[in-house]
Chain A
């Protein structure tokens, strides 16, 4: 049995369920925000099934089932402390159980977590053999200025919160003080964009040429076309996805004028709906095939508590900066840097929490699909 676990107000979750229903694939669904209202029991390590009871239904989760997960914790957006604790308790229990379950879990809770720390993520990607654009993460205006002066650069969030990617100029650094930081800047790579979804050893590659810095913001998603990446890259992607402990990942690349592929990120929980719709559902089809294949039910994806330490590291030894540094007061009122202002950020969790607050939980698969379609239409 395939079990889909996620939030009924998350469009990507609804998309997966809708495609499974369309393909008539038997599916159990768990709506996280309904489940936290009910009763649960998880035995860790799993000895027999876990049990959920909510919305008038009792759901058994078997350790050797296949799980498609979009585990999103809304506890930080709960005003009620008891409910926030309930969220945390449920998510801790579910994650511990899934991490120990022998079945296929797409994806386990901490796999690819470094995507939430861009400099670390980039270092990992480089160690896996990908070309990554040069980057700098710092609160030092002088270092920032040097980097920007050396060539075109863009600004991204360090923690991975979605925000418009913008070009950074020296003028943006005028008046910058450490309390504006830290800042992550990356060398601009001009060229086409590619998104490659990897499911096991199955790939769906799409690319688009856009005049803008971020094709998702310029309406160019509709111009995505399926293409065949080079064999060397295909191999690297399949191996890289496995090395990160992922069964499913969405990889982003820039393809420069020389045909070189520059890896921007590997997303461990890709919102793949907008890409799937432009490749005839090939990504969903790959997911459902992989999750349903018997060979995957027999083996457990290797779980490691921690990845090996990153290999080659060269470090500066200067501590002069440290001695001159003035720490923030205990509760600083930090100054937001101009190029990642709130208007340029998209706080996905806040948006999901707002939608959840405005809508009663959907229980059945059909109701979840209907709710997410309604949300998409009203956006």
Chain B
């Protein structure tokens, strides 16, 4: 069985998955994005489309992390490779984790987009506020923000003029992370509220609605219930460490 992993060479999750697949007897090909793009031939005919080779793929956004291009030609060729890979992964009849769609790949979704696009929160829920800097609105200690380098903090602790996203956080909020692989969900904790609030079932439904096979979903849990605050379609090690073996089993099962 052959599997194609498309990721940066330093991607820890892809690296560990490669080991898991090889332990199970798979032949793993591991390439970065541009190299992977050059593997494929896509033929669009009058009645059919073909993609060769057709292999199960595990794709990470890190595949496209490279040194900045030092020439316009280099930049152009990278764009050509990206466009080709996008088509190959979208059109491939084999399993692609996570498959990009005609309108693009599913990116990281936070509170506002989860509410707006996936209708995941009850009507009347707070918005997520995107601002050019903390000085734009009056925030209290319960408002937390994230800047564009993913620093998270109370709003008051950001420098003025730093663009950020912010939302209110209830004091005492706890968090649960559920990792979804297809129709299965793996919670990070054994807290009874995970079962009480059906976080596994809700996570699987949310991932399906978002169009992703593999994702970690972070839930904020307080006295009012549970609400999703983030869907990450490219989970990192820290999100997977609680149940890596179960997640790896499920991923290998799908890919093999």
Contact = CB atoms under 8 A, between A and B. Distances in A.
20 contacts: A43-B127, A44-B127, A45-B115, A92-B130, A114-B90, A116-B86, A117-B87, A140-B41, A143-B41, A158-B80, A179-B38, A305-B103, A313-B49, A315-B52, A315-B92, A322-B55, A327-B31, A328-B34, A330-B9, A334-B77
A161 interface: yes
Interface stretch (A83-91, A248-256, A352-360): A83-91
A312 B48 contact: yes
Query: Which secondary structure dominates chain B's binding surface?
Result: mixed
Interface in A293-338: 303-307, 309-310, 312-319, 321-322, 325, 327-328, 330-334, 336
Contact of A319 (B2, B128, B163): B2
A316 B49 contact: no
Contacts of B99: 309
B48 A161 contact: no
Interface in B95-112: 99, 101-104, 106, 112
Report the interface size class on chain A. Answer: 35 or more
B250 interface: no
Contacts of B31: 327
Q: Is the interface on chain B under 10, 10 to 19, 20 to 34, or 35 or more residues?
A: 35 or more
Interface stretch (B18-26, B67-75, B214-222, B240-248): B67-75
B34 to A, nearest CB: 6
Interface string A231-252: 0000000000000010000000
A113 interface: yes
A181 interface: yes
A110 B100 CA distance: 13
B50 A315 contact: yes
B38 A182 contact: yes
A152 interface: no
Contact of B38 (A116, A181, A330): A181
Interface in B118-157: 118, 127-133, 135-137, 148-149
Contacts of B73: 334, 336, 342
Interface in B23-80: 29, 31-32, 34-35, 37-46, 48-55, 66-67, 72-74, 76-77, 79-80
A99 B132 CA distance: 19
A100 B117 contact: yes
B69 to A, nearest CB: 10
A39 B83 contact: no
Interface string A159-178: 11100000000000000001
A315 B96 CA distance: 14
A310 B90 contact: yes
Nearest to B9: A330
A345 interface: yes
Given A113-B102, A182-B40, A328-B38, 5 more contacts: A44-B116, A123-B91, A126-B46, A137-B41, A158-B87
B210 interface: yes
Interface of B: 2, 4, 9, 29, 31-32, 34-35, 37-46, 48-55, 66-67, 72-74, 76-77, 79-84, 86-87, 90-94, 99, 101-104, 106, 112-113, 115-118, 127-133, 135-137, 148-149, 163-165, 209-211
A47 B125 CA distance: 10
Nearest to A304: B103
Interface string A100-135: 100000000011111011111011101000011011
Contacts of A215: none
B112 A96 contact: yes
- The 6 A-B residue pairs whose C-beta atoms are closest, nearest first, are A316-B52, A44-B112, A89-B163, A93-B130, A306-B101, A100-B116
B132 A90 contact: yes
Contacts of A89: 130, 132, 148, 163-164
A212 interface: no
Nearest to A137: B42
B81 A40 contact: no
A85 B164 CA distance: 10
A161 B79 contact: yes
A318 B52 CA distance: 7
